[in-house]
Amino acid sequence: MIIDIIGAGSLGLLYGSKLQAAGQQVRYWTRTSEQASNMKRLGLQIKEPNEAEALSISGADIQAHCIMKLAETWAHSPGSWLLLMVKQTAMDDIIHDIKSISKEPLNIICFQNGIGHVAKLQKAMRRATIHNAITTEGAKRIGNEVIRAGEGQTWIGQSEEASPRHVGQAGENGLISLVHTIQQAGFDCTVSNQIDKLIYRKLIINAVINPLTAVWRVSNGELLLNKERTTIMRQLYDEAITIYRASGITADADLWEQLLKVCQATASNTSSMLADVLEGRRTEIDSINGQVVNLAHQCGLTAPLHETLLHLIKAMHPEGVN
Ligand SMILES: NC(=O)C1=CN([C@@H]2O[C@H](COP(=O)(O)OP(=O)(O)OC[C@H]3O[C@@H](n4cnc5c(N)ncnc54)[C@H](OP(=O)(O)O)[C@@H]3O)[C@@H](O)[C@H]2O)C=CC1
Ligand SMILES: CC(C)(CO)C(=O)C(=O)O
């Protein structure tokens, strides 16, 4: 199986290295040729919490190319699956770079936090079969090293956002076989027929934790340290849940408790949004709180708290804070 990974960052390198170590052919597609050359020169190291030795992939065994060459390569050597592991902020560029792929079948899996990207991608690539992956894995790349926070869970399924919904060229068996391959590579991965519920569960968790940690510059666990913080968290949560109800989005009755547990389980984490702000990068706020605001407008409601945070975070772009 050839697995193409677009975005050789934290998540892409974690999955790619472990899939390759399990015997799969992995090709990385990077934003710059320079990054592809560096990967082939330096190789990769994956550090896992319960492994004494890092997984080491030699540069000579790495296939990495600039994304500009992807469509051309697929014309004569198509892959089986395209795993999209870039941030939401890169989605427009990616759509531009891959929309000329005419080969079928074209099976794409999107790993992004937030929502809105799949509908956009599906609109640009009507014949592609697009799935969402929701993962609780935590990975951080530092140079040619990736640190895996712990063993998370990954679910893959087809969202309502992927329209027209169809089983796709890979077929149900193709997806099951991919999931099996991911499991063999050392991930707890399952097919989900309730992926939208998981997408919206993650959306509300990100919409509460990410912007607040970025504004207050605290770790996820520090959100729980005083009443002022948890009061604002709860108000953000209630605003989003009201919008979910009005939009017909189902959520578990104990979702608030689940959100608090995520803060506790990832207590020492710097959220991805705080990390982006501290590094002066654009954040994924548009696809998270921006989408909560859009959902509100679609059902005739407003989302003043989410909208305020949207603007507070966007006002930090592009220079971030230090
Ligand atoms: N890391 C994690 O633990 C988790 C991440 N996610 C989600 O997964 C997604 C990816 O996150 P993460 O891996 O942390 O992000 P990273 O920033 O670590 O990796 C993204 C990679 O995409 C590359 N990229 C950007 N633009 C392009 C392009 N046009 N063509 C090819 N490659 C490009 C970046 O390169 P460059 O740096 O050169 O721009 C970078 O190497 C996000 O949406 C995140 O929310 C979800 C759950 C967990
Ligand atoms: C769940 C959480 C908040 C963990 O840090 C996350 O997904 C993120 O940082 O983007």
Same domain, 245 and 156: no
Nearest-atom number in ligand 2 for the CA of 262 is 1
pLDDT in tens, 302-316: 999 999 999 999 999
Predicted pLDDT of residue 53: 95
DSSP annotation string for 178-200: HHHHHHHTT-EEEE-S-HHHHHH
- Contact indicator for 208, 258 with CB cutoff of 8 Å: no
Does 306 reside within a domain?
yes
Which tokens go with 173?
């068996």
Ligand 1, atom 14: closest residue by C-alpha: 10
In a domain, 322, yes or no: no
Residue 150 domain flag:
yes
20 CB less than 6 Å from ligand 1?
no
Domain termination site, one of 193, 226, 246: 193
For the segment 70-86, the average pLDDT, to the nearest whole number, is 95
Residue 112 Cα distances to 7, 15, 154, 272, angstroms? 11, 14, 12, 12
Do residues 30 and 122 share a domain? Answer: yes
In a shared domain, residues 177 and 228: no
Length of the chain measured in residues: 322
pLDDT at 170 over 80: no
Residue 150, pLDDT score: 86
Does residue 201 share a domain with residue 178?
A: no
How far apart CA 102 and CA 4 sit, in angstroms, is 16
* Nearest by Cα to 14 from 169, 172, 182: 182
Distance in Å, CA 11 to ligand 1 centroid: 7
Can you give the CATH number for the domain in which 27 is found? 3.40.50.720
Residues 113-152 as b/e (b if ≥16 CB within 10 A, e otherwise) read bbbbbbeebbeebeebbbbbbbbbbbbbbeebebbbbeee
User: What is the CB neighbour count within 10 angstroms for residue 63?
Assistant: 17
Residue 8 near residue 34 (C-beta atoms within 8 A): no
29 and 109 assigned to the same domain = yes
Asked if the model's pLDDT at residue 280 lies above 70, the reply is yes
Q: Find the domain containing 110 and state its range.
A: 2-193
pLDDT at 162: 87
Are 183 and 81 contained in the same domain? yes
Last residue of a domain, one of 159, 193, 227: 193
| Nearest one of 82, 68, 84, 60 to 135, comparing CA atoms | 84
Q: What is the pLDDT of residue 105?
A: 80
pLDDT range class, residue 165, cuts 50, 70, 90: low
Percentage of residues in the chain having pLDDT higher than 90: 90
| pLDDT reported for residue 120 | 96
In this prediction, residues 95-101 reach a mean pLDDT of 93
Q: Which ligand ends up closest to the CA of 258?
A: 2
Tell me which of 142, 163, 193 is where a domain ends.
193
The predicted structure's pLDDT at residue 308:
98
**Are 25 and 87 within one domain?**
yes
Whether residue 167 sits in one domain with residue 201: no
Residues 229 and 276 placed together within one structural domain of the fold: yes
Q: Are 166 and 175 in contact (CB under 8 A)?
A: no
The CATH number that applies at residue 204 is 1.10.1040.10
User: Residue 57 in contact with residue 64, Cβ under 8 Å?
Assistant: no
Helix (H), strand (E) counts: the chain: 12, 12
Q: Whose CA is nearest to atom 10 of ligand 2?
A: 272
Does 81 reside within a domain?
yes
pLDDT score of 267? 96
Q: Do 206 and 184 fall within a single domain?
A: no
Does this complex have an ipTM over 0.90? yes
Q: Verify that 14 and 27 share a domain, yes or no.
A: yes
pLDDT in the model for residue 322 = 53
Please check whether residue 319 lies inside any domain of the structure: no
The pLDDT, as a whole number, for residue 108 is 96
Element (H, E) at 295: helix 289-298
**What integer pLDDT is reported at residue 320 of this predicted model?**
55
The pTM for the full model equals 0.96
The model's pLDDT over 219-268, given as tens digits with 9 standing for 90+, comes to 999 999 999 999 999 999 999 999 999 999 999 999 999 999 999 999 99
Query: Does residue 115 fall inside a structural domain?
Result: yes
Residue 320 in domain: no
CA of 86 to the centre of ligand 2 (A): 15
In ligand 2, the atom with minimum distance to the C-alpha of 210 is 3
Higher pLDDT, 173 or 62: 62
Q: How confident is the model at residue 164 (pLDDT cuts 50, 70, 90)?
A: low
Whole-number Å distance, alpha carbon 210 to ligand 1 midpoint, is 16
Total tally of structural domains belonging to the chain: 2
Residues 237 and 175 in one domain: no
Distance of CA 307 to the CA centre of its chain: 22
